[in-house]
Chains A and B, each alone.
Chain A
Amino acid sequence: MKLNKNVIKVVCFGLIFCILFMNIQTTLINKGANDYSQVKGFYTSKMNADVVFIGNSHIYCSINPLLLFKEYGIVSENFSSAGQNLALTLLYTTEAVKTMNPKVIVVDAYSIVLPTMEPAYHRLGVDPLPLSIEKMRQVMFMRKHNEEFNGGKMYDSFSSYIFPILSFHSRWKELGESDFVLPDLRNYHGYAPSYNNIKADFSYYYEESTLGIYYDSQKKLFNTLVDICKNNNIELLIIKSPSPRWREDYHNIVTEWAKEKEVPFLDYNQFMDELDINVDKDFRDADSHLNDYGATKMTIHLGMYLSNKYSLKDYRNEKKYSYWFDDWEVYYTEKLQYE
């Protein structure tokens, strides 16, 4: 009898410990600017999305799912993280398939040509994802990859990806309100608008750029990405938003790979005039990202392309999707403040 009582006590103690541990660990994790909430928001979406956009900041700065819904009735989600390379895109793709089972996955071409990843960015991209075998495989891959190519001195230990508290426990000194109360960014569906504008500098577009020693491994990862989508009957589309960071050589590489696998590739850098992109007004920084005005132009064009090519359902008249209009109001009210 006493033994049973003690077993119950131990089990209860363990359960309470686990709950406290998970909460404290989440509090301590570095959440970047809004990176953590942005990715977490994907898992708390109320409805499955037909289209999921995956990649790095070029995705979450350039595509506005709210505008896609308002203009075309497309239900979509941005599921991206800063500095994301192709290896992490594969994990995000797997997660997107598991979570949303989308009809179309749109991947950023810049991630396709990114072989390495800053460890801090990697953490920001990986920590918000739920613990899974795929996640740990990706961490192992990145650590091994980094070891092969960069000496492996920068990535945290494998165990710290299972228990991030091992890496972040000393962050207690800089905890802020957003660590305890995660900002709810679900209204934006992964979109991170900015209303700043800085003149973009496209003078490096023709600068020689190669994947060097990473060429083969990147191509292999790209083929895996195509296979994941194919195996799950998901259409894959590669896009590249207008960005001064993009290079002609990268365009050629992705074009070649996409052609080989018969995957459509839309490089908006090739028809910026058609989109009416203004380098003086449509960028939030000089070297990378569109602001909200630029994103609006690109999203309108992309929405048209998606609607025409994939015959996606228009959800605007369905009652259970009416909350999308509320989300649009939240976004639009904020936007008006900057006009």
Chain B
Amino acid sequence: MCWNPKYALLMATSTVITWASGILIDRANNKKNKTEQEKTKEKKLWVALSFVSNLAILFFFKYFDFALANINAMLSQFNFELIQPAFDVVLPVGISFYTFQALSYTVDIYRKEIYAEKNILKYALFVSFFPQLVAGPIERSKNLLIQFNKEHHFDYDRVKNGLLLMLWGFFMKLVIADRVAMVVDQVYNNYTQYAGFEIAIATVFFAIQIYCDFGSYSNIAIGAAQVMGFTLMENFRQPYFSKSVAEFWRRWHISLSSWFRDYLYIPLGGNRKGKMRKYINLMIVFLTSGLWHGASWHFVVWGGLNGIYQVIGDVTKPYRNKLIDLLKINTECFSYRLFQMGITFVLINITWVFFRADNISIAISMLQQMVTVFNPWVLFDGTLFKLGIDSKDFMVALISIAILWIVDYAHTKGSVREWISKQNLVFRWGLYYVVIFSILIFGIYGPGYDAAAFIYFQF
């Protein structure tokens, strides 16, 4: 990832292209001397040009190295000379997010869901809206762009609520995500030294890490926007409470999933063209989603696995229902829902191995090591405290994960911030201080304190 300001030019290019495409599509819509067919043809041309040019930029900066490595791998199979790139391509920060956001605008205009924004500065503000520029949520023009035309006034409660969401985001990131990441990094970067429960724990921790990491960015972005009077879409809705993989994807990175649904799955035909086509469309969406997450085959496999889960889930659904009837299983009770959540969590965790491992063969090797080695003693003999964090940090990790679970569970019942606002001032403020100082004390940030540097001969 690169923060070089010159890459802002790329964003400016995407902004100008999509803004111009919007104007041109709008103009095509309003041409009175043309038939609907001609209008559609012209509009499609502008949409295509917008997509091709934006995706070309994205491809070059994100996938050039990946494509070249694959081409070279093929060439080497036939003993051809390898292509040596004459330059280094670095990934500009946020490019995947703002490109998708800008493209959604082109399509929304094409679908006549919004009017073209004439003011390029206002449109540029939409593409580059700083709270969510780097890591989403990937906003839709029909939600965010129109908010730039509204007046924004100071509202104490709104600002307070925005700050509270940001605070929770910082807690998720600094206290949970970055702490469990140390275990994940230790095990995944030295995977040959670990097996069985060690890999399983590191993988569960990665599930928590990626949720807290990504979820925290979204919370901070949504909160920061709220402070300024803007409403961004929800991006994570307690995903690990999902009872199926399909449901997981309705709760996980919602802005991306719904982007793919609206701008890829539905245009491909969605589920309107028969079962087989639906499954193909699902696979296309998830393989593309995998590639969007990173230019590497292990991300593609990760996306593919998620797609396969859903295809298998759909294919086997009638048989599973029959089995449930046959065994007279009560599906309306807590234990069944817990069972479903457990199975979904395990399935998702298997996909996370492919997401986190450096390549497919490492992921397969780790999965093999995880299921073939039975070493439950590592849970009791202190081994856990040698996985990158000591016993005290491990305790903080477990307590904060429990807090995360409680907050997520509370969210299923209603707004936690609303509940807090109904409490007495002493409790409310006490809670705020506890969270703020938990972040300041238990957060993973700064240079880190090296106790050894302070060990000296008293004088």
Contacts and interface: CB of A to CB of B under 8 A. Distances in A.
A6 B445 CA distance: 32
B436 interface: yes
A192 B445 CA distance: 36
B433 A167 contact: no
A267 interface: no
Contacts of A30: 449, 454
Given A16-B433, A17-B436, A24-B437, A171 B449 contact: yes
A120 interface: yes
Contacts of B444: 170
Contacts of B456: 82, 118, 120-121
Interface string B420-446: 000000000100110011001111111
A165 interface: yes
Name which of B392, B429, B440, B459 has the most chain A CB atoms within 10 A of its CB. Answer: B459
A289 B457 CA distance: 12
Given A28-B441, A30-B454, A170 B433 contact: no
A167 B459 contact: no
Contacts of A6: 156
A112 interface: no
A123 B456 CA distance: 13
B312 interface: no
A289 B458 CA distance: 11
A288 B390 contact: no
A166 B446 contact: yes
Nearest to A284: B459
A125 to B, nearest CB: 12
A72 interface: no
Interface in A234-267: none
Contacts of B449: 30, 167-171
A82 B459 contact: yes
A47 interface: no
B406 interface: no
A120 B453 CA distance: 6
A308 B418 CA distance: 75
A285 B454 contact: no
Interface residues of B, number: 26
B424 to A, nearest CB: 13
Contacts of B429: 13, 16
B392 A173 contact: yes
Interface string B136-160: 0000000000000000000010000
A33 interface: yes
Interface residue range, chain A: 35 or more
A194 to B, nearest CB: 9
Nearest to A12: B429
A169 B446 contact: yes
Contacts of B390: 173
B459 A288 contact: yes
A160 B457 contact: no
A289 B459 CA distance: 8
B83 interface: no
B448 interface: yes
Nearest to A172: B441
B20 to A, nearest CB: 44
A268 B360 CA distance: 72
Nearest to A123: B454
A207 interface: no
A82 B457 CA distance: 10
Interface string B395-436: 000000000000000000000000000000000010011001
Given A61-B459, A285-B459, A160 B437 contact: no
A90 to B, nearest CB: 21
A274 interface: no
Contacts of A160: 446-447
A17 B443 contact: no
A239 to B, nearest CB: 17
B327 interface: no
Contacts of B447: 156-157, 160, 166-167
B441 A169 contact: yes
A9 B225 CA distance: 23
A57 interface: yes
B451 interface: yes
Interface string B245-261: 00000000000000000
A32 B453 CA distance: 11
26 contacts: A2-B156, A13-B429, A16-B429, A20-B433, A21-B437, A21-B440, A24-B441, A30-B449, A61-B459, A120-B456, A124-B454, A156-B447, A157-B446, A160-B446, A165-B441, A166-B445, A167-B446, A167-B449, A169-B440, A169-B441, A169-B443, A170-B446, A171-B449, A173-B390, A173-B392, A288-B459
Interface of A: 2-3, 6, 13, 16-17, 20-21, 24, 28, 30, 32-33, 57, 61, 82, 118-121, 123-124, 156-157, 160, 165-174, 192, 285, 288-289
